[in-house]
């Protein structure tokens, strides 16, 4: 069996830490969103629409967030039942509706985003903008390399 290079070993530790961070962020996100009737997964789907600034199809949301279309469809269905999202006709595709945030959903999302700002400001204390941008650059590079392999 081939031994990992020092870079391969360091990347292994980075990826393992990323997995742990992902689990922690989902748990913390669930605590942050619960008072507003959301979960981390629901917040992620609504956030994708909000970031885009327009209605999206389920497939578009899934692609932008790196999620499965089926998983996003389930979350969208749940959020429609809760009146957080609405389905709109799609002139380009009769069966693939556009998904938009409702007034109720916008209010909940705005409240979560306000709480997120406080949380992220606390988390970033003691870290420089330079450090955070460098970490982002490394993670983006690893993701891009993984996507092309």
pLDDT reported for residue 37 = 92
Whole-angstrom Cα Rg for the chain: 18
Q: How far apart are CA 27 and CA 90, in angstroms?
A: 35
8 Å CB contact between 49 and 86:
no
Query: Where in the chain are the domains?
Result: 16-148
pLDDT reported for residue 17 = 97
54: region left, alpha or beta (phi > 0 left; psi from -120 to 50 alpha): beta
Tokens 């039942």 locate to: 81
pLDDT reported for residue 61 = 97
pLDDT reported for residue 48 = 95
Q: Which positions of the chain have pLDDT values less than 70?
A: none
Distance of CA 22 to the CA centre of its chain: 11
What is the fold, at CATH topology level, of the domain defined by 16-148?
A: Arc Repressor Mutant, subunit A (1.10.10)
pLDDT reported for residue 93 = 83
For the chain, the average pLDDT equals 95
8 Å CB contact between 64 and 48:
yes
Instruction: Name every residue whose Cβ is closer than 8 Å to that of residue 142 and which is 6 or more positions away in sequence.
Output: 11, 14, 15
Instruction: Name every residue whose Cβ is closer than 8 Å to that of residue 91 and which is 6 or more positions away in sequence.
Output: none
Q: What is the pTM of this model?
A: 0.85
Q: How far apart are CA 23 and CA 4, in angstroms?
A: 26
pLDDT reported for residue 60 = 95
């Amino acid at each position: 069996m081939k031994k990992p290079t020092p870079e391969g070993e360091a990347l292994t530790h980075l990826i393992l830490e990323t997995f742990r961070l992902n689990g922690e962020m989902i748990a913390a996100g669930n605590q942050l969103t619960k008072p507003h009737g959301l979960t981390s997964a629901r917040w992620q789907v609504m956030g994708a629409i909000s970031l885009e600034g327009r209605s999206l199809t389920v497939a578009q949301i899934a692609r932008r967030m790196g999620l499965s279309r089926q998983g996003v469809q389930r979350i969208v269905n749940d959020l429609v039942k809760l009146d957080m999202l609405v389905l709109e006709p799609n002139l380009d595709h009769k069966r693939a509706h556009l998904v938009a945030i409702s007034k109720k959903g916008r209010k909940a999302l705005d409240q979560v985003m306000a709480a997120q700002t406080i949380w992220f400001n606390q988390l970033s204390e003691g870290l420089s903008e330079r450090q955070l941008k460098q970490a982002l650059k490394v993670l983006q590079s690893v993701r891009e390399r993984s996507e092309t392999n």
